[in-house]
Amino acid sequence: MDAGHQNAEEYNIRRCDYMARYTGPVCRLCRREGIKLYLKGDKCYSDKCPVARRTYAPGQHGQSRKKLSNYGMQLREKQKAKRIYGILETQFREYYEKADRAKGITGENLLKMLEKRLDNTVFRLGFASSRSEARQLVRHGHFAVNGKKVNIPSYQVSAGDVITVRESSRSSEKFKGLAEVAKTTPQWLEVDMDKLEGKVVAEPKREDIDIPVQETFIVELYSK
């Protein structure tokens, strides 16, 4: 990927959170990676998903994709992780550096940090249909952590934290009918949809993180 292409993908950084405001069709990102990244909420689970109909990459040469080199595979895994969590290169590298300094396996540390972001936690609890929607809801101040309003998507939750929809937001259409939508909650979280409340009961483990990313390739890429 040349610098011009990468800059076109990774623009409009919000200084306080380094988050991408990608305004193009997100389904193109899934097609570029060749798998579903579940960026579009309910559409990703329906037969309207473009990835299910067109498994090749977008663009003129999308159907003639060549076999990737080892570096190419490393880059694609990094891009998948960044796109799934909605993070740009600067912040992603910061997460990697923190993961590398922490005790344990670097790749697993990285994914655990990404999972513990407040926007991802809100998504995992089922309070939003996608991570991008969760990010928007967090920014708009709809959630409290341990009773205090938090509007920073990258806020790191910890075991014991209680995430609730704020009282002033409970009448919003965004949160009506959530109890009727069946969604699997990972083992490190508990949720009570009637109370619009979730709790972090443990640190996430690697087996709890069901994203299609091979983190060892990311570690290899940054270790060069």
Which of 26-40, 58-72, 74-88, 128-142 is least confident? 26-40
Residue with the bigger pLDDT between 167 and 62: it is 167
What is the domain partition of the chain in residue ranges?
Answer: 3-92, 117-203
pLDDT at position 68, please? 80
Rounded-to-integer distance, Cα 113 and Cα 100, Å: 12
pTM: 0.74
Protein fold of 117-203: 3.10.290
Which of 5-19, 53-67, 93-107 is least confident? 5-19
Estimate the share of the chain in helix, then strand, then coil, as percent rounded to the nearest 5: 45, 10, 45
Tens-digit pLDDT profile for residues 123-156: 999 999 999 999 999 999 999 999 999 999 999 9
Q: Which CATH number fits domain 3-92: 3.90.45.10, 1.10.1050.10, 3.10.129.10, 2.60.40.420?
A: 1.10.1050.10
Contact 104, 175 (CB under 8 A): no
Residues in the chain: 224
